[in-house]
Amino acid sequence: MGFTHSHSEVVPASTARAYQVAAHQRFRIVAHEGAQVCDAAFVGADNHSVTYSSDLSVLFNQLEGTGDIHSLETLYSRPPDTEPMVRVTEDTIGHHFPWAGGMCCSYLYEIRDDEPSHENCADNLLTALNERGLSLEKVPEVFNIGMHVTVEDDQIQYLPPEFGRGDYIELEPQIDLIVGISSCPNDTTIMNESEPKSLEIQFEDPPR
């Protein structure tokens, strides 16, 4: 007997939500309205110092032959608590930005677009995670889902998304987690096809 659908939630466009997810309770982040970048933060539910490490995740996946700078099979936590945090069980999006760990913030919009008060993932995630009982002053590193990035001539290039309506990534926590999901508010570049959209989160229960 396999996983069964439990319930769905919607993260409205340009906002963030946080959820407590038990170990081995799978969930899907679905681009149900079209291409939409998601910044996902992972924090240990029992130990809030356990958070995602972007550089170690890419390194370990390359050493294991399970991923590269665009796609991962396992997300690892930062030292000194390094361990598998999340496994990717299905992925129809396929092209992500897992190796930097950063997110849009007010200063980015200020220097790039002269819009320092623009909604951003950093502020949204900090609010959403703290509403779940955390006391964070800074947002942990994030996994940038669906962000199409490459490097040319030693410069980071941001490209149009390569996925569309209905595409998803399915994740299975290896430990109990608090998961922050931000539907990226970027409407000044091609990142979200210049139009932020909502995301659907589909939760599944493991076999009993």
Closest of 112, 97, 104, 107 to residue 147, by C-alpha: 97
Domain spans in the chain, listed from the N-terminal domain onward: 43-102+141-179
Which of helix, strand or coil describes residue 123? helix
Which of helix, strand or coil describes residue 107? helix
Angle at 71 between CA 65 and CA 75, to 5 degrees: 80
C-beta separation of 41 from 50 below 8 A:
no
Lowest mean pLDDT among 100-109, 132-141, 166-175: 100-109
Q: What is the pTM of this model?
A: 0.93
Q: Residue 89 corresponds to which tokens in the numbers above?
A: 């069980």
Answer with the residue of higher pLDDT: 175 or 152.
175
Q: Furthest-apart CA pair in the chain: how many Å?
A: 54
Q: What is the reported pLDDT for 92?
A: 96
pLDDT tens track for 55-96: 999 999 999 999 998 899 999 999 998 999 999 999 999 889
Cβ contacts of residue 65 below 8 Å, gap of 6+?
A: none
Tell me the C-alpha to C-alpha distance, in Å, between residue 62 and each of 56, 74, 107, 156, 190: 10, 11, 32, 20, 29
C-beta separation of 146 from 159 below 8 A:
no
What is the DSSP pairing of strand 199-205 with strand 38-44? unpaired
